[in-house]
Amino acid sequence: MLEDERLVWRLKRGDKEALRRIYEKYKNRLLTLAVSLVHDPGAAEDVLHDVFVSFAGGVGQLQLRGSLHKYLTASVVNRVRDRYRRNKHRSVELECVAEPASNSSVPEQSAMLNEESHRLTAALGELPLLQREVIVLRLNAGMKFTDIAEMQGVSLSTAQGRYRYGLDKLRMVLRGGPKR
């Protein structure tokens, strides 16, 4: 956190290397988050780049109330929400999702892992955005429910409920049960 404060301080004084360092430090986590939410690697990269362009452009007015990581995570989530609002009528094409690389040297294991990963990704895509968002923020970004609730502008119990209902729906979809 102290490093982030120093980087933001340097960035506000025009140090472009500080922006590069912030980007390098957070890009992988934020890209993983964006891919988990939009299910399209290309769109996720667009979201990430939009967030950093906006961040760099508004750094003069930036006043962090928490950690830089939390701020950038919230920016990604908000950018994804904006994207869904604009494209409400279009459905997400899950076939665009890149298959995660497997570390397995056994082809059968690799194929099974890729198939399970694809099923999970497809099941996540069937959840309502706010439930998917809570699950991804909790599991991928490691955020606390209090932070997620604050980000979504809801109570703690609502955020926890979205998580619980989302996991229940995931289980149902993965078991081949009825989709609600």
Q: What is the CATH number of the domain that holds 148?
A: 1.10.10.10
Domain around 69: 1-87
Q: Is 179 a domain residue?
A: yes
Cα separation, 70 vs 59, in Å, equals 16
Does residue 165 fall inside a structural domain? Answer: yes
User: What domain count does the chain have?
Assistant: 2
Task: List the CATH number of the domain containing 57.
Answer: 1.10.1740.10
Which of 30-44, 65-79, 91-105, 147-161 has the weakest average pLDDT? 91-105
What is the pLDDT confidence band of residue 165, given thresholds at 50, 70 and 90?
A: very high
In a domain, 56, yes or no: yes
Please indicate, yes or no, if residue 164 is contained in any of the structural domains: yes
State whether 5 and 58 are in the same domain: yes
pLDDT tens-digit map of 27-56? 999 998 888 888 888 999 999 999 999 998
**Listed residues 18, 52, 87: the one ending a domain:** 87
